[in-house]
């Protein structure tokens, strides 16, 4: 039996699937994998969280990047891989999508907001770092682009930052806790397009395995955790998932 057939059967047999996605799902939509050679961080230096908080010039640079779309995290469209995942959720087969991506493409492909657990935040809006109030980028666009006004919270005066989790920023507690609960409750943990090297996110597949779930990994390249998986498919996500979910 091919890897694709095994995967299709495993999904069919599963009672509760959790899908875990990484950059590989979105590269097929043209969103760059920021860790790969030629990726975003090989072209522009990341702004560390501590620097954003401490240094006004770093904050200005961060907001310039927001409005220039420098990281190309926005503007892409979901691909067949996202649609296959959305289908699994809509069918009641998958209970949640845990993602390392910040591009909002799971939501845009039709997965309800409350089923998407974002471990690294979201690049489509901003939040106050103190009171967590959500702001749309549009609110600050004119002030920043015309007068270089660096956004602050209108409620508490705190710093406002793109809702992504930056390097050096603590992992968000609530999504981490939800991801753990979903992982422990599933009987099939399906990794799509993650090289599983960034911790603590990369700890979830093993947690699933230890709690008795089956583990399936679909990734173009081998991953460090292939040896723990029940099913491994080394291929593009979209074509594999499109066939497995029969889109
Ligand atoms: Zn605030």
What pLDDT, in 10s, does the model give residues 11-42? Answer: 999 999 999 999 999 998 888 776 655 566 66
Structurally, how many domains does the chain consist of?
2
The alpha carbon of 152 and the centre of ligand 1 are apart by a number of angstroms equal to 8
This prediction's pTM? 0.92
Beta strands per DSSP E along the chain: 17-21, 94-99, 116-118, 121-128, 134-135, 160-164, 188-192, 214-218, 231-233
**133 an active-site residue?**
no
The span from the CA of 127 to the CA of 129, in Å, is 6
Give me the CATH number covering residue 175.
3.40.50.1220
Last residue of a domain, which of 164, 179, 198? 164
Same-domain check for residues 130 and 18: no
The alpha carbon of 139 and the centre of ligand 1 are apart by a number of angstroms equal to 15
Token code pair at residue 177: 């806790």
Same-domain check for residues 137 and 212: no
At 34-86, the pLDDT tens digits run 665 556 666 678 899 999 999 999 999 999 999 987 766 667 899 999 999 99
Same-domain check for residues 132 and 159: yes
Same-domain check for residues 99 and 130: no
Choose, from 106, 120, 124, 234, the residue flagged as catalytic: 120
The alpha carbon of 154 and the centre of ligand 1 are apart by a number of angstroms equal to 7
Same-domain check for residues 111 and 7: yes
Domain of residue 206, residue span: 1-30+77-120+171-247
The alpha carbon of 177 and the centre of ligand 1 are apart by a number of angstroms equal to 23
Token code pair at residue 53: 């908080």
What does R_g of the chain's alpha carbons equal in angstroms? 19
């Amino acid at each position: 039996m091919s890897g694709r057939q095994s995967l299709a059967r495993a999904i069919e047999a599963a009672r509760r699937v959790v899908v875990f996605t990484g950059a590989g799902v979105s590269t097929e939509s043209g969103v760059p994998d920021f860790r790969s050679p030629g990726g975003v961080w090989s072209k522009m230096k990341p702004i560390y969280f501590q620097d954003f908080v401490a240094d006004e010039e770093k904050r200005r640079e961060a907001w310039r990047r927001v409005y220039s779309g420098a990281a190309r995290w926005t503007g892409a469209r979901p691909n067949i891989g996202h649609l296959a995942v959305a289908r699994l959720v809509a069918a009641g087969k998958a209970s949640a999508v845990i993602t390392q991506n910040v591009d909002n493409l799971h939501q845009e492909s039709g997965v309800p907001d409350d089923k998407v657990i974002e471990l690294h935040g979201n690049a489509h809006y901003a939040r106050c770092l103190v009171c967590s109030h959500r702001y749309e980028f549009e609110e600050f666009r004119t002030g920043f682009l015309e007068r270089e006004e660096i956004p602050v919270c209108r409620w508490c005066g705190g710093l406002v930052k793109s809702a992504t989790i930056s390097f050096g920023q603590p992992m968000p507690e609530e999504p981490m806790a939800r991801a753990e609960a979903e992982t422990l409750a599933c009987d099939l943990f399906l990794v799509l397009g993650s090289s599983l090297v960034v911790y603590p996110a990369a700890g979830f597949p093993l947690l699933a395995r230890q709690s008795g779930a089956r583990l399936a990994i679909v990734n173009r390249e081998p991953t460090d955790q292939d040896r723990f998986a029940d099913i491994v498919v080394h291929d593009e996500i979209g074509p594999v998932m499109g066939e497995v979910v029969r889109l």
